[in-house]
Structure 1
């Protein structure tokens, strides 16, 4: 590119989303981390135009230092009357942005957002027709939502999207996690046996058998049970005396139902196993080695995004029922993740 200068890094960035419920916010965290990694000096505004954002509420501690400003439920991107001045009536009115990233694909909304004063506009709507930068010919849109968002970031930065910014964990939740999992010598292995529906759950007795194997290897199984799964606690405790159930510990208090505590606990795990569930995405927010178990839902679309992970599908063992996934297959995949997480005793001893 002789004679040409690389474009200046944006100093102001606006990211548009429709809304972020807690589950949405957890799935989008790798994008937020990669965005800050790509543009460390930029002022980043997160605009939720059609509803609330968990980044201004429950998940705010997780984006501290990554997002500079969250504007939620702004009423932007819905009506043609916004075409003249999309940001009118919002706290962003009158501002210009070096980079606008539109993460949704509804053409009407994209046409409105393109009227926001900007230098570069990135959008995947209408096959990138309205975007200032487009992927190469033949590009196929990824199935996973997070991968679609990372593709937009790569267009904006011209570099691979790398979500490697140090994870942020709520300090109060982290202190409590240290209290609940206080053995610094233990190898904690997380187990999340619940899910939004029973059809997405690997059988509880298999999770208990897996926990027994973990305990037999001198590791500590940690079961994370949601409020609707507390009835499993006595069965787990009687089957595996060494198991830890931190969310049912009275010391967890009100934080026992908060995703922030689950994420803080997960950060202390060497590895974990989870069904396709919200709990799995909470573990992924801590970016730990994670084995995800899938049955009726496609992992290509819904698998949590982690630096190191593995997926087992019921379809690969004879059908879509979760009970088709063998205990041995799960244990073998978990052991591989644990082995990869242990320090190499021979490293540096040449």
Structure 2
């Protein structure tokens, strides 16, 4: 790894080591950013001491929810720069950026990549086009991964010329951790249940979550409902359908405003043995907190969007005779939970 770094520095000249590293992204929700965290950690470990800029064409959750937790990795976040917009705004946004030592472009539109290569001042440029065309180096593989997180991680591997090490976990503050320790005291095996997502079509039916919670409770597990803003309009229905679970509403469990909603969510997930989730932000967050995840998929593709978790079991509707989430029975989800718990 060190030889790769030294070679890049020689090619860029004496000043290249002081220039920031750029990560270019499109529009990003919470899950999109979390999928790229292993890439970010790998870059930070591989090029220590170099400031990293996170530059988004549009809005990014890196500028909002995640910023306080990644200050040691990302020195500057630039949302809505226009670098993925139409040509005049794209060129203007690129020209406003400083010179970089390395550029990691996670975008895939040929036009955006072409202009970035032409306009940006940099020493080395890495992009994940098909076959890594236009990239100054490619990883050991020729075919880019389908998965968004693995694809981003491959750019770090290309720069380092070595396998990636993206291990790590998001951590909450002490106050949040102490608060949740009182709500979920040590002893029981807590299993998180995240019933929602941003899109109703990606949600496993609520009554199936109820069946799962009942089965977990009968086996001595303690199901914990993970409730956020997206569940605010249906809290009563959720609680009535899944009465066996401890219901933790991240908006309500905080005794003081100093503990943020995101901090509360991370603190709760830290206390869980694993999380069962639809294809949504809480599943990705659980993986980023280094918890095993049972991930439920129907209309979306787990080969592209599955969480980056230390241990992962995917249950697909297509393996049970349908494309909709209602095709997934309770039994294979319970079996996946028990398998991960035994590990």
What TM-score, normalized to structure 2?
0.83
Match of 1:234 among 232, 236, 239: 239
Partner of 2:75: 68
| 1:155 shift after superposition | 0.6
| 1:203 shift after superposition | 2.6
Match of 2:223 among 214, 221, 231: 221
Match of 1:245 among 235, 247, 250: 247
| 1:126 shift after superposition | 6.4
Q: 1:19 to 1:173 in 2, by over 3 A?
A: farther
Match of 2:23 among 3, 12, 15: 15
Partner of 2:338: 335
CA distance in 2, matches of 1:261, 1:224: 11
Any residues of structure 2 matched to 1:182-221 within 5 Å, and which?
A: 183-221=185-223
Q: 1:306 to 1:126 in 2, by over 3 A?
A: closer
SS of the residue aligned with 1:251? coil
Match of 1:59 among 63, 66, 78: 66
CA distance in 2, matches of 1:66, 1:168: 13
CA distance in 2, matches of 1:166, 1:41: 20
CA distance in 2, matches of 1:286, 1:313: 23
| 1:77 shift after superposition | 5.0
1:290 aligns with 2:293: yes
CA deviations 1:119-152 (Å, max 9, x no partner) are 211112464332211346x822222211111111
RMSD value, Cα = 2.9
Partner of 2:308: 305
CA deviations 1:154-209 (Å, max 9, x no partner) are 1111112222134333555444433432x022221101122334433323222222
Partner of 1:345: none
Partner of 2:128: 124
CA distance in 2, matches of 1:57, 1:122: 26
SS of the residue aligned with 1:58? coil
CA distance in 1, matches of 2:63, 2:239: 37
Aligned residues: 326
CA distance in 1, matches of 2:254, 2:90: 49
Structure 1 residue runs of 5 or longer lacking an equivalent are 341-350
Match of 2:282 among 279, 290, 296: 279
Structure 2 residue runs of 5 or longer lacking an equivalent are 10-16
What TM-score, normalized to structure 1?
0.82
CA distance in 1, matches of 2:296, 2:29: 23
CA distance in 2, matches of 1:77, 1:200: 28
